[in-house]
Amino acid sequence: MGLIQALRGTRDILPAEIGYWQWVESNARGILSRAAYQEIRTPIFEQTDLFERGIGEATDVVGKEMYTFKDRGERSLTLRPEGTAGAVRAYIEHGFAAQGGVQRLWYCGPMFRYERPQAGRQRQFHQIGVEVLGSPSPRADAEVIAIATDVLQTLGLKDLSLNLNSIGNPDDRQRYREALVAYLTPYKGDLDIDSQDRLTRNPLRILDSKDGRTQAILQNAPSILEHLNPNSKQRFDQVQELLTQLGIRFEINPRLVRGLDYYTHTVFEIQSTDLGAQATVCAGGRYDGLVSELGGPETPAVGWAIGLERLIILLQQQQAVVGSKTDFYLVSKGEAAESQALVLAQALRQKGFTVELDLSSSAFGKQFKRADRSGAVACLILGDTEAETQTVQLKWLGTGEQESIAQSDLLTKPDELRQQIVDHTLTPNT
């Protein structure tokens, strides 16, 4: 039989890389918790109708990219292609609206779309997202953008730009749709194939076309900003003013429309010049009609999602130092020493230290080589002599300094030991 490999568009996240993922998730969790966002975990698959109604049947996501199947009860189910629809379904089903006030939710997990795999884009991909439900205020728009900026800047990302637009309310968008179709119809034969199809189904998506000829035609196309009613325009001005007060720089991009039908008013993308064609690392906007579309009460809402695969690529390119460092690598040889080493390792872990215990029972020389490669701050050495005297040799791997210390002292003076680890972590490895 042939070797079974991961499916195209999926990938294993191996231990050498997992530190980046844990670091991103930990930082995001901290920022969101401090802003009073509550985590929600929704199912990976839902009724297909949820996404057809919520995202829009005319979108590429629903029309081309969803993983849809029938279960044994002949129900049509779909692996979630994005997180907002499921969060809104949960908001309605569990009566969040009846609680009153504003609900701030966040989630993290895998999504699924049948796309052409490339760097930063997989068929199983991961997102961190936020949803603020119950506030029509432009301050909610500014808040979610500010939090996304905090997350990315805390991770040390550079060369980021915020693109901002308003697609108004449904009436604004319908007027613009008519104007755009009227402009593009005479050029229909010159548009790329996808854009010709979108002209009747979803003309605003033509603005996202990457085809050079289509983009040239769009140079003189009408702008959606010219079709906003006074209230929509005032609202967009307020969002811009609030971002300016927050010190967040942005660029107005009137061609930014996003790919999902539920968006209204503010839409935005945060991009990085280091990602090539797939430049967007965070995207979102307002979706005031989605809750009612899915059977809930009229509820204003706004949110965003960060693509973790693209974010990890950026962190790796910038050689960000992430992950936790091993405090001790514990080597031992001899029956009594090996038993004591197991007990000592577990006791140190319970005190909050990171300890890797060598389980090989091989010669000390081989264990020492593994200790050097482990990246640990120090090596703890237990042999027959140490086992008999209840001591341990403590060797700082950065400097080569070594001392004998009672095992009990390691456990009774954790704060002092922790400070020594910090001091030796800052010492260059010689």
The model's pLDDT over 364-416, given as tens digits with 9 standing for 90+, comes to: 999 999 999 988 999 999 999 999 999 999 999 989 999 999 999 999 988 89
pLDDT-wise least confident of 7-16, 37-46, 206-215, 269-278: 269-278
Question: What percent of the chain clears pLDDT 90, i.e. is strictly above it?
Answer: 70
pLDDT confidence band for 429 (50 / 70 / 90): very low
Determine what percent of the chain is predicted with pLDDT higher than 70.
95
Distance from C-alpha of 325 to C-alpha of 314, rounded to nearest angstrom:
21
C-alpha 176/C-alpha 170 separation (Å) is 10
pLDDT tens-digit profile of 109-146?
A: 999 999 988 887 899 999 999 999 999 999 999 999 99
The pLDDT value given to residue 428:
46
Q: Residue 386: its pLDDT value, please?
A: 95
Indicate if the pLDDT at residue 200 is higher than 90. Answer: no
Task: Report, as an integer, the average pLDDT of 314-334.
Answer: 81
CB 229 within 8 A of CB 167: no
pLDDT interval class at 276 (50, 70, 90): low
Architecture per CATH, 328-425: 3-Layer(aba) Sandwich (3.40)
- Residue 323's pLDDT is 56
The confidence score (pLDDT) of residue 282 equals 95
In this prediction the pTM is 0.84
User: Cα separation of 356 and 374, whole Å?
Assistant: 9
320 band by pLDDT with thresholds 50, 70 and 90: low
Mean pLDDT rounded to a whole number for the chain: 91
Q: What is the mean pLDDT of residues 308-337?
A: 85
In terms of DSSP bridges, do strands 251-252 and 67-70 run parallel, antiparallel, or are they unpaired? unpaired
Query: Per-residue b/e over 96-107, b at no fewer than 16 CB within 10 Å?
Result: bbeeeeebbbbb
pLDDT of res. 244? 97
- d(CA 162, CA 182) in angstroms, rounded, equals 30
pLDDT of residue 322: 62
Measured CA distances, 251 to 152, 162, 164, 271 (Å): 18, 6, 6, 11
Q: Please report which confidence band the pLDDT of residue 319 belongs to, taking 50, 70 and 90 as the band edges.
A: low
Confidence category of residue 430, pLDDT binned at 50, 70, 90: very low
Residue 39's pLDDT is 97
**Half-sphere exposure in the Cβ direction for 339 (13 Å, CA):** 6
| Tokens 């057809």, located at residue | 52
pLDDT surpassing 90 at residue 159: no
What pLDDT, on a 0 to 100 scale, did the predictor assign at position 388? Answer: 95
Residue 401: alpha-carbon gap to chain centroid: 42
What CATH number does the domain located at 15-169+229-317 have?
3.30.930.10
241's tokens = 């003013």
What are the residues facing 394 on neighbouring strands?
380, 403
**CATH 3.40.50.800, the chain: domain bounds:** 328-425
Q: Is residue 115 within 8 Å of residue 64, measured between CB atoms? A: no
Close Cβ partners of 363 (under 8 Å, ≥ 6 residues apart): 333
> Strand 301-307 relative to strand 280-286: parallel, antiparallel, unpaired?
antiparallel
Look at 234-238, 313-317, 334-338 and tell me which has the smallest mean pLDDT. 313-317
Q: What are phi and psi of 165, to 5 degrees?
A: -155, 165
pLDDT of 278 higher than 90: no
Residue 427 pLDDT exceeds 60: no
* pLDDT number for residue 277: 55
pLDDT recorded at residue 182? 92
Where exactly does CATH 3.30.930.10 map onto the chain? 15-169+229-317
